[in-house]
Amino acid sequence: MVIALEHRLRRCRNVRTLGVRTNFVDYSDDEIRAIRQAPKIYYPSVFYADLFDAIGKPLFPSYHTYKCVQDKIKQTALFYLLDIPHPFTRVFYGKRRLEKIVRVFTFPLIAKIPRGSALGRGVFLVQNEEELAAYLRLSPVAYIQEYLALDRDIRVVVIGDRVVHAYWRLAAQGEYRSNVAAGGTISLEKVPEKVLTLALHTARACGWDDVGIDICAHQGRFLVLEANMKYGKEGFRRAGIDYFKMMEEMIDNGAI
C-alpha cells in the first residue's frame, strides 16, 4: 500500500490517501509513521512537496512538476531556456506595461493571468488598448502572447516516462479557446507521432512526470502552448481508459 496526500488516487485499490493537513501535527500517530516510513509519497501537494524534497523523500509527481503548477511564467522561461518551440511570449512589470506591450505586440493578442489559472479561465483575446487596459487592472504582472488563429490543439498526457494518452481538442464555433471547460470538444483522431515525441521531450527536459502538455500546429511547426499539472480526465473517459486502473498498474509495476 502506497501513501498519497492529495485525493488524485483516492479510487485506487493500492493507495492509502491521507488528505492534506495544513498542520502536520494534525495527522494521527499512525499516519505520521506511515508518511515517515513510506519509500515515496504520492501527490504530496504544493506545500508538502517543498518540505519532503528538503528532507530527501522521493515524490510522485516530481518536485519539479510541482514547482511549475499553474505558473505560466516559469513554464515559458523553461521553454525558452531549453529551446522548446513556444509562441512568442513576453512578461511585463511596472506602471508602464501598456506602453511597453504595444511597442512589442500588435492586436489582437492573448493575455493570460500568469499564475493560478486553469481550464481556460484567465485567458483573454485582446483586440485593442481599451481591452488591454482592462486586463492590466486584473493582474499586476502581464503575461502576453502572440495570437495564433487556431481552431484546435492537442493534449498529450505524460505520466512517469511515457505518453499514456493524446487527443485533439476542438474549439467551439466563435471561441478562441479549445479547453473542454470552455466548450471545446474532444476528437480521438490519430495524433501525429512528431507531437508525441515533442511532448515527451518537453516533459523529460523540464523534469515533469505527470503533466498534460498542450501543443498546436502553426505555419508548419508544432508549438508547445503550456503544461497542465491539474489536467482533467474527460479525455480518458472518451477513449474508454480507466484512469484509476491505469494508475494502479503503473504503481504496481514501478512505472511511477
Q: State whether 123 and 41 are in the same domain.
A: no
- Domain finish residue from 60, 75, 104: 60
> Is the residue at 23 inside a domain?
yes
Please say whether the beta carbons of 164 and 197 come within 8 A: no
Q: State whether 245 and 207 are in the same domain.
A: yes
Q: State whether 199 and 245 are in the same domain.
A: yes
CATH number reported for the structural domain that contains residue 121 in this entry = 3.30.1490.20
- Domain finish residue from 146, 167, 185: 146
Predicted confidence (pLDDT) per residue in 186-203, tens digit: 999 999 999 999 999 999
> Is the residue at 45 inside a domain?
yes
In this predicted structure, what is the pLDDT of residue 144? 98
Q: State whether 205 and 160 are in the same domain.
A: yes
In this predicted structure, what is the pLDDT of residue 173? 78
Q: State whether 134 and 179 are in the same domain.
A: no
> Is the residue at 70 inside a domain?
no
98, three cell numbers: 501598456
* Domain ranges, residue 173: 152-252
> Is the residue at 65 inside a domain?
no
Nearest-5° Cα angle at 105, 103 to 107 = 115
In this predicted structure, what is the pLDDT of residue 180? 73
Q: Pairing between strand 109-112 and 123-126?
A: antiparallel
Per the structure, how many domains does the chain have?
3
> Is the residue at 67 inside a domain?
no
Among the residues of the chain, which ranges form H helices? 29-37, 45-54, 63-67, 72-81, 97-104, 129-136, 193-206, 234-238, 243-252
Q: State whether 53 and 134 are in the same domain.
A: no
> Is the residue at 16 inside a domain?
yes
In this predicted structure, what is the pLDDT of residue 169? 95
Q: Which residues of the chain have pLDDT under 70?
A: 117-120, 174-175, 181-183
Q: State whether 164 and 205 are in the same domain.
A: yes
Taking the alpha carbons at both ends of the chain, their separation in whole angstroms is: 14
Q: State whether 101 and 137 are in the same domain.
A: yes
Alpha-carbon gap, residue 82 to 76, rounded angstroms:
10
In this predicted structure, what is the pLDDT of residue 210? 98
Q: State whether 106 and 172 are in the same domain.
A: no
Q: State whether 54 and 132 are in the same domain.
A: no
CATH number reported for the structural domain that contains residue 170 in this entry = 3.30.470.20
Q: State whether 210 and 229 are in the same domain.
A: yes
Element (H, E) at 164: strand 162-170
Q: State whether 166 and 238 are in the same domain.
A: yes
> Is the residue at 79 inside a domain?
no
